[in-house]
């Protein structure tokens, strides 16, 4: 019995499949006239993106039922009113929704496309739960990396059609750590040379996991996992790529990954403030990091006047 059939059976029994994320949860309510309806319970300070693609779906709307949210389009934020509907087909760039309070949003999309996407995402979420059980830091870290990466992508005006690859490539960038022994992963001190070689293998292991994944479109994001520890000057790993040989997606993940590592509390290092981390990123421009990515990432924080996370 396929997932859609199970979902329809549960619907008749009064049960609905739920996708839980750090930004909130999505409840798949049902399909009417081949249009799927889902309720997004968005948390305060949570966010998500809409990226309309007519090859996937014709219908794609978002109606605010309750709460306060802002939408950002082409760098401008506006308040969305309760009862207002946003039709994603009217937007040629990424639209981002930000919860300024807890909010309820009714989403409608072509059922065949959305149901498949929903259940594939449930599969991916269960795999990230496995990462969480290995290392809770990695789980929360990966979620922040995804959010940061999307914001940089928008500011670099990259194609919205590739956003899904960035979203999941950034989220799964550390999935290879599932194969790293815990005594190395959580060692409170400097790694030996052999331990460091083992740790570095997580990018290749992660890419292999992605390329062998049953969710077909996820395989295309493996290059991000593989390249996210390459350096702009060619001194990174695993291949020593440099400059534009490194995909822009991986270059973005490299910068936001470094920032989050510097500003997150770990037992073996001092946590840096946001400003201290910015200094380190600027020092690495053109050597460790892609210069434009560093500039756009710092710009994102400056524009939003975000607190030190």
Q: How confident is the model at residue 204 (pLDDT cuts 50, 70, 90)?
A: very high
Q: Which residue has the higher pLDDT, 222 or 175?
A: 222
Q: Kindly calculate the radius of gyration of the chain based on its CA atoms and give it in whole angstroms.
A: 20
Rounded Cα distance, 252 and 194, in Å? 28
pLDDT for position 135 = 64
Residues near 270 by beta carbon (within 8 Å), at least 6 away in sequence = none
Question: Is the pLDDT assigned to residue 309 strictly greater than 50?
Answer: no
SS3 state at 266: strand
When the pLDDT of each residue in the chain is averaged and rounded to a whole number, the result is: 88
pLDDT for position 5 = 44
Burial 1-14 (b: 16+ CB within 10 A, else e): eeebeebeeeeeee
How far lies 279's CA from each of 84, 94, 96, 175, 248, in Å? 42, 30, 28, 29, 22
pLDDT for position 72 = 93
pLDDT for position 208 = 97
Lowest mean pLDDT among 33-42, 47-56, 105-114, 258-267: 258-267
Average pLDDT over residues 275-283: 96
- The gap from C-alpha 243 to its chain's centroid, in whole angstroms, comes to 24
Lowest mean pLDDT among 74-83, 156-165, 221-230: 156-165
Question: Is the pLDDT assigned to residue 226 strictly greater than 50?
Answer: yes
pLDDT for position 15 = 78
């Amino acid at each position: 019995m396929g997932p859609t059939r199970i979902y329809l059976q549960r619907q008749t029994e009064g049960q609905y499949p739920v996708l839980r994320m750090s930004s909130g949860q999505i409840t798949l309510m049902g399909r009417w006239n081949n249009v799927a309806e889902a309720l997004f319970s968005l948390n305060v300070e949570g966010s998500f993106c809409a990226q309309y693609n007519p090859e996937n779906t014709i219908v794609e709307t978002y109606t605010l039922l309750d709460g306060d949210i802002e939408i950002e389009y082409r760098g401008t934020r506006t308040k969305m009113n309760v009862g207002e509907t946003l039709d994603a087909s009217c937007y040629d760039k990424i639209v981002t929704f930000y919860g300024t309070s807890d909010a309820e949003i009714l989403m409608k999309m072509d059922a065949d496309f959305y149901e498949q996407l929903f259940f594939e995402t449930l599969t991916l979420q269960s795999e990230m739960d496995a990462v969480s059980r290995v290392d809770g830091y990695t789980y929360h870290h990966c979620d922040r990396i995804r959010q940061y990466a999307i914001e940089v992508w928008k500011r670099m005006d990259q194609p919205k059609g590739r956003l899904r690859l960035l979203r999941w490539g950034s989220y799964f960038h550390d999935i290879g750590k599932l194969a790293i022994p815990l005594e190395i992963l959580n060692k409170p001190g400097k790694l030996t040379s052999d331990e460091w070689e083992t740790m570095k293998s997580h990018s290749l292991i992660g890419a292999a996991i992605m390329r062998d994944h049953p969710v077909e479109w996820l395989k295309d994001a493996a290059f991000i996992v593989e390249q996210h520890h390459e350096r702009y000057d060619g001194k990174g790993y695993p291949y020593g790529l440099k400059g534009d040989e490194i995909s822009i997606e991986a270059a973005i993940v490299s910068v936001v990954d470094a920032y989050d590592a510097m500003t997150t509390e770990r037992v073996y290092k001092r946590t840096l403030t946001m400003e201290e981390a910015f200094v380190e990123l600027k020092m690495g421009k053109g050597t460790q990091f892609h210069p434009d990515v560093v500039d756009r990432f710092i710009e994102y924080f400056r524009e939003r006047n975000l607190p030190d996370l």
